[in-house]
Amino acid sequence: MKILVTDGMDKTALAQLRANGHEVVEQFYAPDELGQALRGFDAVVVRSATKIRANHIDEAKGGQLRLIIRGGVGVDNIDVKYAEGAGITVKNTPRASSNSVAELAMGHMFSCARFLSIAGHTMREGKWEKNAYGKGFELSGKTLGIIGFGRIGRALGRIAKGIGMEVIAYNISHVPGIDEQMGMKYVELDELFARSDFISLHTPSLNGVKIICKENIEKMKDGVVFINTSRGDNVNEADLLEALESGKIRAAGLDVYADEPATNSALYSHPNVSCTPHIGAATKEAQQRIGAEIVEIIENFGK
């Protein structure tokens, strides 16, 4: 196969594809050039930077393109149904980055509870703010509400249970076995909002529906901590910022934003925000697993 890799890929996996006889081209294309470029490839591998929309698929029609692979969990940067309607298979790598994203979410939880981000920042400014940041709290004994209980949500739940947190979870469809097998209680969304000391969001993009909005924030405990490593467009950032200013939300850990690169400086510069630039899956181990899954998908394609 002739394969286009637009957003980078693990070097070992690239070498494996080439050793298996595939021609691999590593190149990023601007949106207005992408559709025509796709005509010359059998498969394209993207991460989050490249977006393949209906117009790109229309431009690629009549060419070689048969397979689109998203190296990662979500496929909201691809018009999946439109591609499949055009006879193009769409795959992703849902297993590869679960632990990495879950660990980052937990890292943001610790950062929010112990002021790790802002305290470190002030030290680099030559300050010693021990009194200001000496009023943190422990995670053990607190209740974590997980919205979206797929692979990442479950991985985070296991970590949280391991440090002594109570875990409750909500999913659009009830995940069988949460209560019995995992020791994590399934609840409806309003109950999760009311009971949680920490809320971590792990849903795909919901087509403009804002799970975190003024109406739902009002249902939360005062002083809740909010974590988002899923998709930025699931959050009304103006409502989140207002809640941070009022103290309704004590702190937020954010890896994803409505616009990326992030443009809402009032939000990501807020002293009670622990922020990272969409690095949830950016670990060596996750990239190796993603690469291995991509190789597996390509080698099994059409079998």
Tell me the average pLDDT of the chain.
94
Per-residue pLDDT tens for 84-104?
A: 999 999 999 988 889 999 999
**DSSP secondary structure string, 189-257?**
HHHHHHH-SEEEE-----TT--SBSHHHHTTSPTTEEEEE-S-GGGB-HHHHHHHHHHTSEEEEEES--
- Helices assigned H by DSSP within the chain: 11-19, 31-38, 54-60, 80-85, 98-114, 116-124, 151-162, 189-195, 214-217, 237-246, 265-268, 284-300
Question: 3-state DSSP call for residue 143?
Answer: strand
At 207, the pLDDT band (50, 70, 90 cuts) reads confident
- Residue 163 is encoded by which pair of tokens? 């440090």
Q: Is pLDDT above 70 for 282?
A: yes
Mean pLDDT within 205-233: 94
pLDDT of residue 181: 64
Catalogue the active-site residues. Answer: 231, 260, 278
Q: Is 66 exposed, middle or buried (0-12, 13-18, 19+ CB in 10 A)?
A: middle
pLDDT of residue 180: 65
- Cβ of 275: how many Cβ atoms within 10 Å? 17
Quote the CA–CA distance of 164 and 131 in Å, as a whole number: 27
**Percent of the chain at pLDDT above 90?**
85
* Structure token pair of residue 297: 């998908």
pLDDT at residue 295 tops 90: yes
Question: 147 forms bridges with which residues in the sheet?
Answer: 170, 201
Closest CA to 112 of 223, 3, 216, 26: 223
The stretch 234-242 carries a mean pLDDT of 97
pLDDT at 245: 98
Quick: pLDDT tens for 59-73: 999 999 999 999 988
The pair of structure tokens assigned to 40 is: 């010359």
> pLDDT tens digits for 16-43?
999 999 999 999 999 999 999 999 999 9
> Could you read off the pLDDT of 128-145 as tens digits, one per residue?
999 999 899 999 999 999
| C-alpha to C-alpha distance for 253 and 127, rounded to whole angstroms | 23
Rounded to an integer, what distance in angstroms lies between the CA atom of residue 238 and that of residue 193? 19
**Residue 162 CB coordination number (10 Å):** 9
Query: Given a cut of 80, is residue 182 above it in pLDDT?
Result: no
Q: Are 268 and 257 in contact (CB under 8 A)?
A: yes
SS3 state at 267: helix
Angle between helix 151-162 and 98-114 (nearest 10): 50
pLDDT surpassing 90 at residue 303 = no
Percent of the chain clearing pLDDT 70 (strictly above): 98
